[in-house]
Amino acid sequence: MDQQVKVFLETYAKANSSSDLSVIGSLYADAFMFAGPNGTRTVRKEDFLKVIPKMKAYFASIGLSETCLHSVETVAVDSKYLLAKAGWKITVRDQNGDCRQLDAFATYVLERKDADTLSIVMQIDHQDLATLIRNHQN
């Protein structure tokens, strides 16, 4: 199970890095919950896919250059749902061009559609990514 989730999240990271909206879209449920330090909201996949290019441009403008999966722990909730706790290493460039790696964490509730297919039905970011990056730019 951990290997399947690791491959799923690595696919997510690669698609996010290359802005492959079709792959990103295939990894999320049609509607999902997003939660973070600023609250929780329901998101429609089609709305999410429209905002991704703007989000990517914003994060690039504040120095985010790369995101890599660092760790994943998986727990089966039942036969249909999994809880995946992911650790990400993000690379941030400062104004001088120097790079720094930061840790970011997220928890995902994944729905098992069939033996080979997972989809994100809830994503919990454990920090505000923009704040994390800005706090380390000084």
Token duo for residue 6: 């690791």
Q: Are 110 and 86 in contact (CB under 8 A)?
A: no
Range of 54's domain? 2-135
Question: What CATH number did the domain enclosing 80 receive?
Answer: 3.10.450.50
Q: Which of 78, 74, 81 is nearest to 7 (CA)?
A: 74
pLDDT in tens, the chain (138 residues): 589 999 999 999 999 989 999 999 999 999 999 999 999 999 999 999 999 999 999 999 999 989 999 999 999 999 999 999 999 999 998 888 889 999 999 999 999 988 789 999 999 999 999 999 988 876
Q: How many domains is the chain built from? A: 1
